[in-house]
Chain A
């Protein structure tokens, strides 16, 4: 198992957001986390990333407890709209990727990823001159640079225009085909373009359903009738 979530609950003060959530993912799975705003999608991601302290329940990453976890480089993270990035100061795509690489990361790996995401010609461009969609792809390359076992994408298409969304979905599917485990958070209904293996739906009553692709398709068919 790559990820094991056991009875995870989380509350902000008295407001319970996640209640007794349990699920397991294996290497190579592709999980889509769906739910409306405030349903706990970002809270769950923050628990997985060690930003929210897990007090009730447990999360294991490759059998290691997330409390006191040290192997964070095994996780590649693309934040929502990358709003935490300090824009405006000039820095090129190449410079961002160079400072984000570990010493063991090969240059060829960087170029291969840039090519896969279709932004190789932008290598020496200032990040501030790129569109939101291009910037998002740079951050995916950055997250993938150190060959993590898992990629977490938080609402990655929120700031991308329609034309780029299709390109983006294709790129994520290709990374998954290469064997990368993906967790993608989406408030969007249109998830069929992704080659996901599991869907986790969170609702505002801190309830959840965890289905594999076949179960999700069966449920969807029933719901549409």
Chain B
């Protein structure tokens, strides 16, 4: 049973589709996640996930009253609501200048409340489980295309504006004097993040979307020696989590988001433990060196 994932890949089309989607998301999540981590906005992905859920719930609600278009493609409304959530966060951040983090719980609770209302109105609370913890196994072709397009756009943004993105992320206050339009960057970033979060929801689920973006980066931060190396290591950790997570999800019938995040947590723990052991050894060696020299 444990190996059937790899043999089934060649016979079951949905598995291959899932793997392709997973690999694309495995690059997208840490790419955006690293900027989220640098700017200390880890909570924002969670908030946007909750707001994106409103879009999915509204799609289900519309289906229940006969409008089925969004039922087949709930991602569209998911993206739109996520962007609305992102803009609301920015709005509240400007309103509460000295308590910027207050915007997150406000927007998150609006999202949770609206999702609950529309889900119960649609009488489809059963699908909540998939949205909460991820259900990449049921992913459709159109979804894979949207993931690929999102990743393509994000990669192009990094290719053309990487310099500005990194500069503003590390030091917002000095970016202005390098000729960077900081407000425009904030706006573009929140839109990109909103889209990425709703695209990631299918695989990770609302509750785990921020973990999928952040944990591989958090582990990579402890091993990387430069921005570039940390980014690459983050993507490697993320891909490892996705591939092993999908295998576990398929083999043991557990939600994909839970499986992927569990693997990434194992990687994080391994990194922390190995680093500790190496540091202790290094201290011991240097102490021995000192005593030898005496």
Whether chains A and B associate is yes
Q: A interface vs B, CB < 8 Å?
A: 49-50, 72-73, 75-77, 79, 82, 84-86, 88-92, 95-96, 98-102, 124, 126, 139, 142-143, 146, 148
> How distant is A68 from chain B, measured CB to nearest CB, in Å?
14
Chain B residues lying within 8 Å of A82, measured Cβ to Cβ, are 171
A sample of 27 cross-chain residue pairs with beta-carbon separation below 8 angstroms, ordered by A number, consists of A72-B176, A72-B179, A73-B177, A73-B178, A79-B174, A84-B172, A84-B174, A85-B170, A86-B39, A86-B40, A86-B169, A86-B171, A88-B221, A89-B34, A89-B38, A89-B230, A90-B221, A90-B225, A90-B226, A90-B229, A95-B228, A99-B166, A99-B170, A100-B178, A101-B163, A143-B174, A146-B178
Q: Which residues in window 169-200 of B have CB below 8 A to A?
A: 169-174, 176-179
Question: Given that A84-B171, A86-B171, A100-B167 are known contacts, is A95 also in contact with B176, CB under 8 Å in the complex?
Answer: no
Check B177 against A75 for contact (C-beta < 8 Å). Answer: yes
Check A85 against B171 for contact (C-beta < 8 Å). Answer: yes
- CA distance in complex: A82, B38 (Å): 15
Check B226 against A91 for contact (C-beta < 8 Å). Answer: yes
Interface SS, B side: helix
A-B pairs with the 7 shortest C-beta distances? A84-B173, A91-B227, A99-B167, A73-B179, A90-B224, A99-B166, A92-B226
Number of B residues with CB within 8 Å of any CB on chain A: 28
- CA distance in complex: A89, B218 (Å): 9
Check B226 against A95 for contact (C-beta < 8 Å). Answer: yes
Interface assignment of B37: CB less than 8 Å from any CB of chain A: yes
Render B45-68 as a binary contact track against A, CB cut-off 8 A, 1 for contact.
000000000000000000000000
Other than A89-B230, A102-B179, A124-B226, give 6 A-B pairs with Cβ distance below 8 A. Answer: A79-B173, A85-B170, A92-B227, A99-B162, A143-B177, A148-B177
Check B178 against A90 for contact (C-beta < 8 Å). Answer: no
- CA distance in complex: A148, B178 (Å): 10
> How distant is B221 from chain A, measured CB to nearest CB, in Å?
6
Check B170 against A90 for contact (C-beta < 8 Å). Answer: no
Chain A residues lying within 8 Å of B226, measured Cβ to Cβ, are 90-92, 95, 124, 126
Chain B residues lying within 8 Å of A146, measured Cβ to Cβ, are 178-179
> Closest residue to B174 on the A side, CB-wise?
A77
Chain B residues lying within 8 Å of A126, measured Cβ to Cβ, are 225-226
> Closest residue to A129 on the B side, CB-wise?
B225
Chain B residues lying within 8 Å of A90, measured Cβ to Cβ, are 221, 224-227, 229-230
Check B38 against A86 for contact (C-beta < 8 Å). Answer: yes
